[in-house]
Homo-oligomer: A and B are copies of this chain.
Amino acid sequence: MFFRQRHMAYNAKPDKPDPIFAKMLQEPLGGQWGEISVMMTYLFQGWNSRGPQKYRDMLLDIGTEEIGHVEMLATMIARLLETSPVEAQEDAARNSLVGAVMGGSRIEDVLVAGMNPQHLIVGGLGARPSDSMGNPWTSAYTISSGNLLADFRFNVTAESQGRLQVARLYNMTDDRGVKDMLSFLLARDTMHQNQWLAAIQELEEDGLETTPVPSNFPQDLERTEVSYQFLNHSEGTESAQGRWAKGQAPDGKGQFTYVEHPPAYTEDEGLLNPVDPRTYGTPPKPVPPSAS
């Protein structure tokens, strides 16, 4: 059960409207690596968690924090899309909405050409739950497998991709209000990258899971001769230079080897049998018409 506090987590106030940047800022709101994705991912991982309660509580803490980040970004975008009532009043004589929205400057055509038309037509100058190209957010971005190590590895990825995108956006604007909010998100992403890395260490120290995930699967059931082989599948051997090609593997259970000319481990060419003619697939030889 959840409650909402009146104040936002942090400032979300731009110096002035900027509909093109509003379009771009949809990416960290409703994009694959945006705030809706981490909000939903952490909440579902928490609700589905069957492990020790400290992990569950931690997941629900951070999932709840992320709802507030969604709130901040939605608010910022709605503000980047608004003009002051005064400006709107002054534009009352113009016969084009476009001018009013954009403030009537001479570059309005560029702005209209570059803004997200759904911001006006569909959302009425409000934030949209979509990415910067207008793709709706999809819950396929929500990852919850029941295995915390697999999921925490996803989480550290999400915070890395997310911080990367915010850092790129930070360089694309001079608006101090926008930069101020992004500086907060960057800091929280720093925390969360560290947090998930720490949580991975904790899981391993608690003996709950190690590499390879799932560690509980008996490794002798896998085809062990290829468990630590690097298989070269392209011309050139630059890939032999990395530590993935020699020395002890990170799981401490095997030694990497480099296979320059990987063999096929089978004589099987993948040829299929013909099937029932009543499925009307093309057979190896002509067949008479099927009966019903």
Interchain CB contact (< 8 A) of A197 among B193, B227, B250: B250
Cβ of A74 to closest chain B Cβ, rounded Å? 4
A83-B272 contact in complex given A139-B129, A169-B121, C-beta closer than 8 Å: no
Q: How far is the CA of A139 from the CA of B134 in the complex (A)?
A: 11
A139-B140 contact in complex given A107-B109, A187-B227, A292-B170, C-beta closer than 8 Å: no
Taking CB atoms, residues of chain B closer than 8 Å to A219 are 190, 289
Question: What are 6 of the A-B contact pairs (CB < 8 Å)?
Answer: A51-B283, A130-B133, A147-B281, A187-B227, A199-B244, A218-B292
Q: Could you give, for residues 149-168 of chain A, a 1 whenever the CB lies within 8 Å of some chain B CB and a 0 otherwise?
A: 11001101101110111011
Cβ of A291 to closest chain B Cβ, rounded Å? 7
A212-B230 contact in complex given A20-B112, A139-B36, A270-B71, C-beta closer than 8 Å: no
Q: How far is the CA of A74 from the CA of B49 in the complex (A)?
A: 11
Cβ-defined contact, A118 with B133, below 8 A: yes
Cβ-defined contact, B111 with A190, below 8 A: no
Q: A40's closest neighbor in chain B, by CB?
A: B129
Cβ-defined contact, B187 with A223, below 8 A: yes
Q: How far is the CA of A51 from the CA of B11 in the complex (A)?
A: 21
Interchain CB contact (< 8 A) of A110 among B56, B110, B283: B110
Cβ of A108 to closest chain B Cβ, rounded Å? 10
Q: How far is the CA of A56 from the CA of B267 in the complex (A)?
A: 18
Taking CB atoms, residues of chain B closer than 8 Å to A249 are 194, 198
Which residues from 197 to 230 on chain A have a C-beta closer than 8 Å to any C-beta of chain B? 197-199, 201-203, 206-209, 211-219, 221-230
Having A10-B264, A121-B132, A216-B290, one finds 17 other A-B pairs with CB under 8 Å, namely A1-B4, A3-B235, A8-B264, A27-B118, A54-B241, A58-B244, A61-B239, A65-B233, A95-B291, A97-B276, A97-B278, A126-B281, A135-B136, A145-B281, A147-B164, A171-B292, A191-B230
Cβ of A54 to closest chain B Cβ, rounded Å? 4
Interchain CB contact (< 8 A) of A280 among B184, B217, B278, B287: B217
Cβ-defined contact, B278 with A171, below 8 A: yes
Cβ of A130 to closest chain B Cβ, rounded Å? 6
Among A140, A174, A208, find the residue whose CB has the most chain B CB atoms closer than 10 A. A140
Flag whether A100 is at the interface (Cβ < 8 A). Answer: yes
Cβ-defined contact, B49 with A282, below 8 A: yes
Among A12, A40, A226, A229, find the residue whose CB has the most chain B CB atoms closer than 10 A. A226
Interchain CB contact (< 8 A) of A282 among B31, B209, B235: B209
Cβ-defined contact, B275 with A125, below 8 A: yes
Cβ-defined contact, A121 with B201, below 8 A: no
Q: How far is the CA of A234 from the CA of B46 in the complex (A)?
A: 12
Q: How far is the CA of A154 from the CA of B216 in the complex (A)?
A: 22
Cβ of A260 to closest chain B Cβ, rounded Å? 11
Flag whether A178 is at the interface (Cβ < 8 A). Answer: no
